[in-house]
Amino acid sequence: MYWKHTPYHPAPEVPVPATRNSKIYLVGGGVASLAAAAFLVRDAGVPGENVHILEQLSIVGGSMDGAPAPTPEGGYVTRGGRMFEEEHYVCLWNLLETIPTLDDPAVSVRQEMLAFNIEHPTNAKARIINADRTIADAARLGLDARDRADMTRLLALPERVIGARRIDDFFQPHFFTTNFWCMWRTTFAFQTWHSAIELKRYFLAFVQEFDRIHTLSGVRRSKYNQYDSVIRPIKEWLAAKGVRTDFGVTVADVEFSDPAARRISRLRLERDGAKAETIELGEDDYAFLTIGSMTADATYGDRSTVPELIRDKRDGSWRLWESIAKQAPDFGRPTAFCGNIDETKWESFTLTMTGRTLLDRIQEYTGNVPGEGALMTWKDSGWLLSIVVPAQPHFRDQEENTYTLWGTRCSATYPVTTSRRRWTTAPAPRSSTNSSAISASTTSRTRCAPPPRSPPSRCRTSTPSSSAASSPTAPASYRKAPRTSPSSASSSRSPRASSSPSSTRSARP
Q: Indicate the range of 89-93, 153-157, 373-377, 423-427 predicted with least confidence.
A: 423-427
pLDDT tens-digit readout, 323-345: 999 888 788 888 888 888 888 88
Q: What does the pLDDT average to over 449-457? A: 39
Contact 294, 285 (CB under 8 A): no
Contact 395, 224 (CB under 8 A): yes
| Whole-number percent of the chain with pLDDT over 70 | 77
Q: What does the pLDDT average to over 427-432? A: 43
Contact 220, 88 (CB under 8 A): no
More confident residue, 134 or 483: 134
Contact 368, 391 (CB under 8 A): no
More confident residue, 83 or 25: 25
pLDDT higher than 80, residue 403: yes
Hey, which bits of 71-182 come out as E strands? 76-77, 128-129
| Whole-number percent of the chain with pLDDT over 90 | 59
In a 10 Å sphere around its CB, with 0-12 CB exposed, 13-18 middle and 19+ buried, how is residue 179 labelled? Answer: buried
Instruction: Tell me whether strands 51-55 and 24-27 are parallel, antiparallel or unpaired.
Output: parallel
Contact 199, 154 (CB under 8 A): yes
Give Cα separations from 91 to 99, 313, 483 (angstroms): 13, 31, 13
Rounded to whole angstroms, the Cα distance separating 309 from 314 reads 11
Rounded to whole angstroms, the Cα distance separating 301 from 503 reads 5
More confident residue, 114 or 19: 114
DSSP line for 388-406? E---S--STTPPTTEEEEE
| Vertex 119 angle, CA 103 and 209, to 5° | 110
Contact 25, 281 (CB under 8 A): yes
Confidence of residue 450 (pLDDT cuts 50, 70, 90): low
Q: Which of 48, 34, 40 is nearest to 2 (CA)?
A: 40
pLDDT reported for residue 241? 98
pLDDT reported for residue 428? 46
pLDDT reported for residue 153? 98
The domain limits of the chain are 24-508
What is the rounded average pLDDT for all residues in the chain?
81
For 24-508, the fitting CATH number among 3.40.50.11540, 3.50.50.60, 3.40.50.720, 3.40.50.11290 is 3.50.50.60
pLDDT higher than 80, residue 459: no
Q: What does the pLDDT average to over 411-437? A: 49
Rounded to whole angstroms, the Cα distance separating 207 from 114 reads 22
Hey, which bits of 357-434 come out as E strands? 376-378, 385-388, 402-409
Q: Quick one: DSSP state of residue 277?
A: E
Q: Quick one: DSSP state of residue 403?
A: E
pLDDT higher than 60, residue 197: yes
Q: What does the pLDDT average to over 229-234? A: 98
pLDDT tens-digit readout, 276-293: 789 999 999 999 999 888
Rounded to whole angstroms, the Cα distance separating 57 from 228 reads 17
- Most confident residue range from 217-226, 290-299, 449-458: 217-226
Confidence of residue 357 (pLDDT cuts 50, 70, 90): very high
Q: What does the pLDDT average to over 88-100? A: 95
pLDDT reported for residue 1? 34
Paired strand residues for 286: 24
pLDDT reported for residue 294? 82
